[in-house]
Structure 1
Amino acid sequence: MDINAVLKERQKWFEWKNIKPIHLKLEKFKNENLKVKNIKIDDVIEILIEENQEKLNEIEEIAKMMKPWRKGPFKINDLFIDTEWRSYIKWNIIKPYLNLENKDVLDVGCNNGYYMFRMLEMNPKSITGFDPSALFNLQFEFINKFIKSNIEYKLLGVEHIPFYEKKFDTIFCLGVLYHRPDPVTMLKELKAGLNPNSEVILDTLIIEGEEETALCPVRYQKMKNVYFIPTLKALYNWIEKAKFKDIEFIGKKYTDLEEQRKTEWIEGESLNNFLTEDLSKTIEGYPPPLRVYLKLKN
């Protein structure tokens, strides 16, 4: 597979009618000189700039053009981008298990780059993000205009990892596995991107149970692109089939309305629309979303 040819073809995505106006606006904005006073990388990524109200209004206009904002939150002066997910809840679960110092890191399905920005404080050698979404790429470029990081963002997916020129010491794969029709093949693709003695940080949906089995829904939380949700034992079997050497259990957590909810920064529905009124099941009658966090060692 010619990755450069794939990337060149995907540049055309910025010409889509729903993307082009945002892209043109952002390209003009990126050429402007901004007086950034302070950047605080924490649960809320805070950016403080010294600009007039007209410029602040323009920044708000661009941010609102980019809805929906899924991962975050971000704050630019008084503008609070209250994203659908409070992503720091997940980050704070996995953070104690990370050592990214001087490592080459890949985040697959990186969305707008929230987690990659959080990685900066750990001083990795390099950070690369893969996500085949033109909108999320523009959100990343918007935030990175202020932060000015050296993060590389590629319009690629997990299937491109084996053909990518670079190998990595740590690969993050957060919330992707259940969207793939062949989970074992995907795990092998992740492994193919690793240097020797490296690791994958995996977050995925599971169901409770002692059996080595998986749920195969037509829809799950109204999503049509959910293929398999395994028990933990079944997930471990998939990981073994992909030939990882070891698994470290980090934790598990039910997704709740503290972590994911509808805000003015998204369009459409969120978690409370996907569950029954008492939040005990999905609207399809399946168990509610339970996530497991693992470290897979190569």
Structure 2
Amino acid sequence: MDLNAVRQERLKWMEWKNIAPLRNAINQLPNIKSSVALGNTVRLTTDEVIDVEELERIARLMMPWRKGPFDLFGLFIDTEWRSDLKYNFLRPHFNLSGKKVADIGCNNGYYMFRFLEDAPAKIVGFDPSALFKSQFDLINHFVKSDIVYELLGVEHLPFYEEKFDVIFCLGVLYHRSDPIAMLKALGQGLEKGGEIYLDTFIIDGDEAHALCPSGSYSKITNVYFVPTLKALENWCIRAGFTTFEVLGTVLTTSEEQRKTDWIESQSLEDFLDPADSSKTIEGYPAPKRGYIRIKKG
């Protein structure tokens, strides 16, 4: 696969009529000296003068903001997801110092900015979304990191120019109609001895079963399979992994996912049965996530 040809084709996405104004706005951002604090909120500060109202106007053009939160010089972007909760859950389990790290489905880069705390050798994000890349570029204009953002998907990982020591794939697996093929692609992106951190929907059960929604799951139309942990383990074995470690399971709550002024659309409370929050609106078990570390021998 000629990835450079794919890259050149996808650069044209930045010329789409809904994206081009965002790119123009980013190009007009002031060059100022700023500092970044990488806590639960990725926070930017500066001693220079900046027009926060104009910055908010630009940021709102880029809605919806899913992952975060961010504070841009006093402008608080209260994203739909409290991504800090997921990051803090996983943080005790990894050390990225000096390692090459990939984030598959990186969205606007919240996790990648947090990775900077560990001083990895390299960070590369993969996400084929012109909108999310624009959100990333807005923030990185001020952060000025060396993070690489590729408009590529997991299917490009086996052909990528380098392999990674650590791969994060958070909230992607259930969007793929062939999860074993995706897991194989992730494995092909690993350096020898590397590890992958997975986050995916799961259902309870001791047997190797998977829910296959007929139309949507929690109002998400592109959810194909929601496995038990045993089924997920079997997928990983079939994909060539020899280590399968469950780091924990977490029921999604409105503390982590909720409607805010920065999305203007429905969120978790609209996706659950109003009479029984243990079920989705379709009658399936409510969203629960499994956090997994997998390795090859």
Which of the five TM-score ranges fits, normalised by the shorter chain? over 0.9
- Residue of structure 1 aligned with 2:162, choices 163, 166, 188: 166
**Counterpart in the other structure of 1:27:** 27
Tell me, yes or no, if structure 1 residue 127 matches structure 2 residue 127: no
The 8 Å contact of residues 203 and 294 in structure 1, kept in 2 or not, is answered as yes
TM-score, structure 1 as length reference = 0.97
**Counterpart in the other structure of 1:61:** 57
- Residue of structure 2 aligned with 1:234, choices 226, 231, 238: 231
Structure 1 residue 58: Cα displacement: 1.6
**Counterpart in the other structure of 1:284:** 282
Q: Deviations over 1:97-156 (max 9, x none)?
A: 001110000000000000000000011100000000000000001111111110000000
Question: What SS class does the counterpart of residue 250 from structure 2 fall into?
Answer: strand
Counterparts of 1:149-298 in structure 2 under 5 Å? 149-217=145-213, 218-277=215-274, 278-298=276-296
**Counterpart in the other structure of 2:15:** 15
**Counterpart in the other structure of 1:3:** 3
Question: What SS class does the counterpart of residue 196 from structure 1 fall into?
Answer: strand
The 8 Å contact of residues 52 and 74 in structure 2, kept in 1 or not, is answered as no
Q: Deviations over 1:42-101 (max 9, x none)?
A: 101111123436x22221111111110000000122210000000011001110000111
- Paired with 1:5 and 1:220, the residues of 2 have a C-alpha distance of 35
The 8 Å contact of residues 184 and 239 in structure 1, kept in 2 or not, is answered as yes
The 8 Å contact of residues 221 and 274 in structure 1, kept in 2 or not, is answered as yes
- Residue of structure 2 aligned with 1:114, choices 110, 113, 134: 110
Structure 1 residue 295: Cα displacement: 0.7
Question: What SS class does the counterpart of residue 116 from structure 1 fall into?
Answer: helix
The 8 Å contact of residues 82 and 265 in structure 1, kept in 2 or not, is answered as yes
TM-score, structure 2 as length reference = 0.97
Question: What SS class does the counterpart of residue 246 from structure 2 fall into?
Answer: strand
Q: Deviations over 1:135-192 (max 9, x none)?
A: 0000001111111110000000000001111100000000000000000000000000
Paired amino acid for 2:288: L
Structure 1 residue 12: Cα displacement: 0.9
Structure 1 residue 40: Cα displacement: 0.6
Paired amino acid for 2:28: K
RMSD of aligned C-alpha atoms?
1.0
The 8 Å contact of residues 181 and 227 in structure 1, kept in 2 or not, is answered as yes
Structure 1 residue 267: Cα displacement: 2.3
The 8 Å contact of residues 44 and 73 in structure 1, kept in 2 or not, is answered as yes
The 8 Å contact of residues 49 and 76 in structure 1, kept in 2 or not, is answered as no
- Paired with 1:283 and 1:127, the residues of 2 have a C-alpha distance of 38
Structure 1 residue 27: Cα displacement: 1.7
Structure 1 residue 25: Cα displacement: 1.1
Q: Size of the alignment, in residue pairs?
A: 294
- Paired with 2:75 and 2:116, the residues of 1 have a C-alpha distance of 23
Structure 1 residue 280: Cα displacement: 1.5
Structure 1 residue 15: Cα displacement: 1.2
- Residue of structure 2 aligned with 1:139, choices 130, 135, 142: 135
- Paired with 1:249 and 1:232, the residues of 2 have a C-alpha distance of 8
- Residue of structure 2 aligned with 1:83, choices 79, 100, 103: 79
Structure 1 residue 17: Cα displacement: 1.3
The 8 Å contact of residues 257 and 268 in structure 2, kept in 1 or not, is answered as yes
- Paired with 1:125 and 1:79, the residues of 2 have a C-alpha distance of 30
The 8 Å contact of residues 107 and 129 in structure 1, kept in 2 or not, is answered as yes
